[in-house]
Structures are given as structure tokens and as C-alpha cells.
Structure 1
Amino acid sequence: MHRDALLTQDELDFIQRMQHNPQLNLRDASSSLTVNGGAQIRDLLTRLAAHDQLTIQAQFENQQLTFPLHLVEDEFHAVHLRLGVPTIFEDGPMIRPWRLALETPVALENVRGNPSAYWVHEVSFKGVLVEIRGRIKPPKTFSLWFSPSGYERIALRGTLERENARGLFAYRLDQSDADETERLRQFILHQHRLIHPEVHA
């Protein structure tokens, strides 16, 4: 190779391999959205998404998945609609957020990562069902960390709603941090994919 070349042959080979790697050329199909309805429909959806909350709703058996649509600008300054993380609801006597029943309860942790007496049995993006171990009176509010195995921990702030027939306590989540809410929704969506792969195929 010429001594004034900017890249070595190994670097050139690496770039060539990266360019032709089919795994790296796959788009994230779950987050992109192409609208093939003509310019008028695209313009209408873009205007609506720019001024108000725009969603797509899907019905599956007794569940509703509501996907928010966001306007994003690419590197060429073209504006596209992108699907956000869905909220999942279940039908019944009343529509409520889908609850993920954990196979094994997960202890909420304090800021140092030490387990507390509060163990999560079910979680949704709006609330948690908690077992309180030991002789502790349920607090009116809590601010602790949810650390399911294999996931980055998520800050939860809850307000006591009621005790159920099984002696578990329902807490409504009051998430003030949008990033924490998004991470909780991502966790719930990932678990929903594992439980209902046919919906997400």
C-alpha cells in the first residue's frame, strides 16, 4: 500500500465488511412508519402530529395497543412519522392498563441498591401491586427502584390506592421523569413480546 494512504488495508477491509453486513443494514421495523397514501394524507398526518397527540390503535383479543406517533427529522431535514412505545390496555368490565404478573416477585430497592420490604407482584405503566414483608404498615407513598433481572433499574414513585383481597397493596405510579416512564414502558413492552410473540411477529 502507498505510504501516504489515509487507511491501511486492514481498515479498508473492515469498512468493506461493515458495508456488506446484512445485519447492520436492517431497519428497525418496529419504530419506522411509511405512509403510502399520497402527499395529501402524509401532509394531513404530519400537521396533526405537529399540533396534537396522534396515535394508532390496534385491537388484539382482549387487549388494545396504542402507539403514539412522533415527528422526527432525518439527516436530510426530511420529516417522518415514527412509532413510539405503545401503551397496552386490557378490556374487561372497565378498560385498564395491562398488568404484567411477575413469575417471581421483585424487591424494590433503595437508592443504594439494597432490597426493601416491598415486593412487586404485578406492574403496569400506571401502577404496581406490592407485597409488604415484615410487620410494616404500608406507607402512603414510596420512592424506590425497580430492578428486574437483566434490566437497568427504574425509579418508581407510588401512592397507596387500596389493599386487595390477597393482602397485596395497589399503588398508583406518579412518574414525574419522562425517561423513567419510557424505560418502564420499554420493559413492559419487552415482556409483552415474550408473552404474546404472535402479536409482535
Structure 2
Amino acid sequence: MQRDALLTQDELDFIQTMQHNPQLNVRDATSSLLVNGGSQIRDLLTRLAAHEQVTLQATFENQQMTFPLQLVEDEFHALHLRLGVPSIYEDGPKVRPWRLVLDEPVALENARGHPGPMRVHEVSFKGVLLEVRNKTKPPRHFALWFSPSGYERIALRGTFEKETENGLYAYQLNQDAKDETERLRQFILQQHRLTHPALHQ
């Protein structure tokens, strides 16, 4: 190789390997959205997404999924529309967020990872249904960690709503950090896939 070459042979080989690696060239089909229908529709959606909350809604059986359309900028400063993690709702006497019923209740933990007396029985992106053990009075507010098995723990902040007929306590979630809300939605979406595999094929 010439003395004044910009790259060594090893560096060139590495770049070529990266370029031809099929795993690195696969796009995430769930996060990108191709909009057909002309530039006027695309421009309108882009303007709306830049200034307002725009969603895409799908209805199936007794459930609804609402996907936020987000305007993202790539490394070349080009703007693209991307589907966000959906909010899942179920129909009934009134439309409410889809609740994941846990097989085993999960203890909420403090910041150090120690479990407390509160156990999660059901969770949605808007609220949780808790059992409080050790005859502890349910708090008006809590800020604890939800650590389902096999997942990174998620910070939850809740405000007491009501006691149910079977002695559980309903809390409305009011997350401070947007990324914690997204992680909770992602967890619920993953569990929804396991519960309704035919829908997510």
C-alpha cells in the first residue's frame, strides 16, 4: 500500500464487510412509513406532524391501536414521518386502555431495587391495578419501579383513583419522563404481541 494512503488495507476490508453485511442493511419495517399519494398529501402530513399531534388509527375486533406519526430528522437533515409506539385501547361499555393482566403479580421496587408491599396485577399505559400487602395503607401517590421479568425496569408515578370491589387499588399513571412512557408502551406492545400473535404476524 502507498505511504500516503488514507486508509490501511484492514480499514478498507472492515468497511467492505460492513457494507455487505445483510444484518446491517435491513430496515426496521415497524418504524418507517412510506407515504404514497402525491407530494401534496405528504407535505400536508409533514406540516401537521410538525405542529400538531397526528395519529394513525386501526380498529380490529374489540380493540383499537392509535399510532402517533412523528417527524424525525436523519443524519442528512432530511425529514421523515415515522410511526411511534401505539396506544392500545379496548371497546366495552366505554373505550379504555388495554390492560395487561399479569400471570403473577410483580412487586414495585424502590430506587435501590428492593421490593415493597405494592404488587402490580394489571397494567396499561394509563394506569395500574395494585394489591397492597402487609396491611399497609395505600398511598395517595407513589414513584416506584416496575421490573417485569426479562425486561429493563420502568419508572412509574401513580395517583390513587379508587379501591375496587375485590380489594385492589386503581392508580392513574402520570409519567414525568417521555422516555419512561415510551418504554412502558413498548413493554405493553410486546405483551400484546404475545397475547394476540395472529394480529402481529
Shorter-chain-normalised TM-score: which range? over 0.9
Q: Check if 1:170 corresponds to 2:170.
A: yes
Which residue identity is paired with 2:122?
E
CA distance in 2, matches of 1:98, 1:119: 19
SS in 2 for 1:197: coil
Unpaired segments of 5 or more residues in structure 1? none
Counterpart in the other structure of 2:104: 104
Kindly report which structure 2 residues correspond to 1:8-87, keeping only aligned pairs within 5 A, or say none.
Answer: 8-87=8-87
Q: TM-score, normalised by structure 1?
A: 0.93
SS in 1 for 2:81: strand
CA distance in 1, matches of 2:87, 2:64: 8
Q: Deviations over 1:10-55 (max 9, x none)?
A: 4433322221111111111111011111111111111211221110
CA distance in 1, matches of 2:50, 2:93: 35
Which residue identity is paired with 2:70?
H
- After TM superposition, give the deviation of residue 110 of structure 1 in Å: 0.7
Counterpart in the other structure of 1:179: 179
Which residue identity is paired with 1:152?
E
CA distance in 2, matches of 1:6, 1:52: 47
Q: TM-score, normalised by structure 2?
A: 0.93
Counterpart in the other structure of 1:141: 141
What CA RMSD, in Å, does the superposition of the two structures yield over aligned residues?
A: 1.6
Unpaired segments of 5 or more residues in structure 2? none
- After TM superposition, give the deviation of residue 104 of structure 1 in Å: 1.4
CA distance in 2, matches of 1:146, 1:54: 30
Please say which of residues 81-90 and 190-199 is displaced more in the overlay: 190-199
- After TM superposition, give the deviation of residue 63 of structure 1 in Å: 0.8
Question: CA distance change for structure 1 residues 76 and 6 in 2, over 3 Å: closer, same or farther?
Answer: closer
How many residue pairs match? The answer is 201
CA distance in 2, matches of 1:192, 1:13: 43
Q: Deviations over 1:94-153 (max 9, x none)?
A: 000000111111100011110000010110011001111111111121111111122221
- After TM superposition, give the deviation of residue 5 of structure 1 in Å: 4.5
Identity within the alignment, %: 75
Which residue identity is paired with 1:177?
A
Counterpart in the other structure of 2:151: 151
